[in-house]
């Protein structure tokens, strides 16, 4: 994708990218999944269409995943090595901010456990799940920056925006980091 912004955080880099997450040149990409790991629409649909049904088949063996959790499958035909399925909250179910924080953090922990160096995340929960975009992007950017301060293996986190509004929200959130 197109790099919109990049800054050193801790020993790593936080990068805002505009583009399709399935094409990112990173070790792992994060999927915005539901608890059943039934990958229908949105970024999940794109990941399974491009990566192939092995991703859905492995997912079926790992489901259900609690809201705020994250699990790993292989990536099929995608250029990355792993897909990390993070389950964000549906807006309106309650305690959404903490659940989104947890989903991001769990996804990054799964990345670190694989000793992967680079990972790309979409704006989890802010599409079909209805989390307000600006607020959601702020939570995601903050948790990624925090993680980079303490990570051993993870050195590069890409925040990938598919649409213009999300790109703007990720940029605002990153520029507002302390």
**Chain positions contacting ligand AR6, by CB under 6 A:** 20-22, 32-34, 39-44, 46, 88, 122-129, 160, 162-163, 166
Structure token pair of residue 119: 């990972």
**One-letter-per-residue 3-state SS of the chain:** CEEEEEEEECCEEEEEEECCHHHCCCCEEEEEECCCCCCCCHHHHHHHHHHCCHHHHHHHHHCCCCCCCEEEEECCCCCCCEEEEEECCCCCCCCHHHHHHHHHHHHHHHHHHCCCCEEEECCCCCCCCCCCHHHHHHHHHHHHHHHHHHCCCCCEEEEEECCHHHHHHHHHHHHCCC
Least distance between ligand AR6 and beta carbon 99 (Å):
11
Q: Is the CB of 40 or the CB of 66 nearer to ligand AR6?
A: 40
Q: Is the CB of 6 or the CB of 36 nearer to ligand AR6?
A: 36
Least distance between ligand AR6 and beta carbon 149 (Å):
25
Q: Is the CB of 11 or the CB of 49 nearer to ligand AR6?
A: 49
Q: Is the CB of 128 or the CB of 134 nearer to ligand AR6?
A: 128
Least distance between ligand AR6 and beta carbon 11 (Å):
26
Least distance between ligand AR6 and beta carbon 152 (Å):
27
Q: Is the CB of 23 or the CB of 153 nearer to ligand AR6?
A: 23
Least distance between ligand AR6 and beta carbon 128 (Å):
4
């Amino acid at each position: 994708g197109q790099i919109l912004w990049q800054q050193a955080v801790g020993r790593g880099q936080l990068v805002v990218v505009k583009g399709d997450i399935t094409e990112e040149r990173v070790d792992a990409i994060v999927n915005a999944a539901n608890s059943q790991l039934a990958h229908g629409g949105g970024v999940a649909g794109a990941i399974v269409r491009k990566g192939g049904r092995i991703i859905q088949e492995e997912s079926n063996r790992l489901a259900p995943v609690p809201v705020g959790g994250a699990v790993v499958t292989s990536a099929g035909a995608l250029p990355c090595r792993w897909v990390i399925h993070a389950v964000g909250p549906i807006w309106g179910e309650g305690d959404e901010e903490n659940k989104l924080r947890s989903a991001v953090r769990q996804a990054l922990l799964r990345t670190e456990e694989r000793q992967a160096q680079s990972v790309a995340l979409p704006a989890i929960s802010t599409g079909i799940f209805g989390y307000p975009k600006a607020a959601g992007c702020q939570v995601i950017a903050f948790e990624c920056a925090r993680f980079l301060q303490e990570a051993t293996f993870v050195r590069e986190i890409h925040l990938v925006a598919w649409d213009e509004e999300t790109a703007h929200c990720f940029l605002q959130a990153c520029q507002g980091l302390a």
